[in-house]
Amino acid sequence: MSVIGPKIWIEVSRSALRHNASELRRLIGPGVKLMAVVKSNAYGHGLAQTVECVDAQADWFGVDSLSEALAVRRAGSKKPVLILGYTPLSQLAEAVKRGFSLTAYNPETVDRLAGIATAARPAKLHLKIETGTSRQGILADDLVAMARRISRHRHLRVEGLSTHYANVEDTTDPSYAKRQLRRFGEAVRTLAGQKIVPEIKHTACSAAAMLYPETRFDLVRAGISLYGLWPSESTRLSLAGMGRRIELRPVLSWKTVVAQTKHLPRGTPISYGLTERLAKDSVVAVLPVGYWDGFDRGLSSQGIVLIRGRRAKVLGRVCMNMCVVDVSGIKGVKPEDEAVLLGRQGRESVSAEEMAANIGTINYETVTRINAMLPRLIID
């Protein structure tokens, strides 16, 4: 198939995104709000493109930074935005001015916000509770002091309360997640004792929302599942074992074109370091994609791409902007033929999970590390 356009591009399926959002809506049921987490360029799928596709279905958007929150607004959404990550003190005034909600856990953040917030522009806080992930969050021993610190300032509004689970994706044992949930409940009661009752409680990421309804509270933070990828195989198997069903459709396809083909004799070394020599007379194709683009160097001599509906193995080392694949068994390959790095072509597919297994990582990283400068094209 000959193509016109960029030499490397990502296709984002509008219908798949909206399908996944609908499936998540069905799963969490009425009365629970849906946050579409679009941090890190929407897990590599394109923040603006994702916002455009699911704005009508999402109640909230979740981002990591002020710059991403501003990007949600530039994409046209007026939905509430929660900055999930750390916001530097120097950016707090702009965040409050723009009406974004902020994740808070440091006294320094609270003190700076106290000097910024006004009756007209209150600071909207989502207190993050440390329950066992050992990342950002307020420890149980510090919670009363934090509550009292906040209560001294009338323009600080505790809008939400959250935590994050450390071990729901990679295990079928719910005991640690249940322990974290109990700790979160204790934090809710502690804050109530200080007359702080947030209107939005949220703890559930994709895996927790799927497996443990009791974690959903008022809002679910849907990340990886929104993009049609399972948080883990354990999550998929556990959900099936519970007799629940959710159909996820992968949203992203990553494509390039053939730049050159050539016939090479047996024994010819391929690419840098001479790490692989052809075992037989072969036809190879050069693809203009490499580790700069996010096609990991770990795919050297083992990655798979699709050309003319057939699987083609990466030969030798992946370079910064190029790689070489074996097309000996594929008839008629020529320059400008489409090559699929992730996604489906004909009856064959390369999944994010397959690519991740080849480089010893997880599907999250495989898609998130696709270079943000590559064009994201919305398709139906």
Same domain, 231 and 257: no
Question: Is residue 187 packed enough to be buried (19+ CB in 10 Å), middle (13-18) or exposed (0-12)?
Answer: buried
Task: For residues 47 and 75, give the distance between their C-alpha atoms in angstroms, rounded to a whole number.
Answer: 8
CATH number at residue 287: 2.40.37.10
Residue 8 inside a domain? The answer is: no
Same domain, 259 and 316: yes
What pLDDT is recorded for position 119? 96
Residue 3 inside a domain? The answer is: no
Question: In this structure, what are the phi and psi dihedrals at residue 13, rounded to the nearest 5 degrees?
Answer: -85, 115
Question: Cα separations (Å) of 204 from 133, 180, 207, 353?
Answer: 14, 11, 7, 23
Same domain, 115 and 222: yes
Same domain, 310 and 222: no
Contact status, residue 106 vs residue 129, Cβ threshold 8 Å: no
Closest listed residue to residue 95, CA positions, set 154, 54, 199, 86:
86
Q: Characterize 327-343 residue by residue with b for buried, 16 or more Cβ atoms within 10 angstroms of its Cβ, and e for exposed.
A: bbebeebeeebebbbbb
Number of independent structural domains in the chain: 2
Task: For residues 309 and 306, give the distance between their C-alpha atoms in angstroms, rounded to a whole number.
Answer: 6
Task: For residues 248 and 225, give the distance between their C-alpha atoms in angstroms, rounded to a whole number.
Answer: 7
> Residue for token digits 């990553």?
254
- How far does CA 75 lie from the centroid of its chain? 18
What pLDDT is recorded for position 170? 80
CATH number at residue 123: 3.20.20.10
Same domain, 261 and 227: no
- Residues annotated as part of the active site: 39, 272
Residue 7 inside a domain? The answer is: no
Residues in the chain: 380
Last residue of a domain, one of 207, 241, 275: 241
Give the domain range for residue 56.
Answer: 14-241
What pLDDT is recorded for position 4? 52
Between CA 94 and CA 103, with CA 99 as vertex, the angle to 5 degrees is 80
> Coil, strand, or helix at residue 281?
coil
Same domain, 214 and 266: no
What six digits make up the tokens of 378?
């919305």
Name the packing angle between helices 14-28 and 47-54 (round to 10°).
60
Question: Cα separations (Å) of 237 from 26, 211, 228, 247?
Answer: 19, 10, 16, 13
Residue 208 inside a domain? The answer is: yes
Same domain, 89 and 228: yes
Q: Largest Cα–Cα distance of the chain, in whole Å?
A: 78
What pLDDT is recorded for position 65? 98
Same domain, 358 and 226: no
In tens digits, the chain (380 residues) has pLDDT values of 444 579 999 999 999 999 999 999 999 999 999 999 999 999 999 999 999 999 999 999 999 999 999 999 999 999 999 999 999 999 999 999 999 999 999 999 999 999 999 999 999 999 999 999 999 999 999 999 999 999 999 999 999 999 999 999 887 888 999 999 999 999 999 999 999 999 999 999 999 999 999 999 999 999 999 999 999 999 999 898 888 889 999 999 999 999 999 999 999 999 999 999 999 999 999 999 999 999 999 999 999 999 999 999 999 999 999 999 999 999 999 999 999 999 999 999 999 999 999 999 999 999 999 999 999 999 99
Same domain, 142 and 282: no
Task: For residues 239 and 259, give the distance between their C-alpha atoms in angstroms, rounded to a whole number.
Answer: 44
